[in-house]
Amino acid sequence: MKGTIYKIEGGGMTYYGSTTVGIKRRFGEHKSKKNKTKSRLIFEMCDNPTYEILEEVEVDTIKELRRIEGTYILKNDCVNKVVAGRTPAEYEYTEKRLAYRHTYRRTEEYRQRSREKQSTDRAKEVKRLWNEKNKEKMRVLRKLNYEKNKEKMKTYNKLYYEKNKEKHKLYYEKNKDKIKQRNKENREKKQREK
């Protein structure tokens, strides 16, 4: 029996197929509205898809022809969802492997996210403990830094204020009551500390 392996291309997609009837007749079947194969995507997306004969072979059974078609599907990027010529056992084995890979990948992603979260939590805790331990030291360093760079900081703050004067005014107008309340609380807190 003479068989033909072909591909249909269009819209950046490729479909692989095989037939024992003429290629023109099979191409016409793909164009049909009754088409249930994935090649219909190509006909929906492209006005004039083309076909190309890849191989003409002599086979004893249709199964042999489907097997050859399956090798093209596996080796190339295509829209075919079903790999032609696979036995049920091969299909089941492949699907189990894909499911395992998917599950493994998901658990690996979870582990990675978990590690990242733990490391950031740990880093935050270490930073908090260090800040508590070195509170006085940091206060002295900030004061020294301020004394050392007093003029630079004043100039920078002045320029920043001039540049953002309108923003400050708008913010103050919007939050006048909150700001007054916060200032009052801060004054009371300072008086209690004295």
Average pLDDT along the chain: 84
Q: What confidence score (pLDDT) does residue 119 get?
A: 76
With a pLDDT cut of 90, the percent of the chain lying above it is 16
Single-letter amino acid code for the residue at 151: E
Q: What confidence score (pLDDT) does residue 36 get?
A: 80
Domain 2-85 has CATH 3.40.1440.10: yes
CA–CA separation, 63 vs 66, rounded Å? 5
15 contact partners, CB below 8 Å, separation of at least 6 = 7, 8, 9, 30, 37, 38, 39, 41, 42, 78, 79, 80
Cα-only R_g, the chain: 36
Whether residue 3 has pLDDT greater than 90: yes
Whether residue 71 has pLDDT greater than 70: yes
pLDDT in tens, 7-37: 999 888 899 999 999 888 888 888 887 888 8
pLDDT band at residue 101 using 50, 70 and 90 as cut-offs:
low
DSSP label at residue 194 = -
Average pLDDT over residues 145-163: 89
Q: Which has the higher per-residue pLDDT, 168 or 89?
A: 168
Q: Which has the higher per-residue pLDDT, 142 or 82?
A: 142
| pTM over cut 0.85 | no
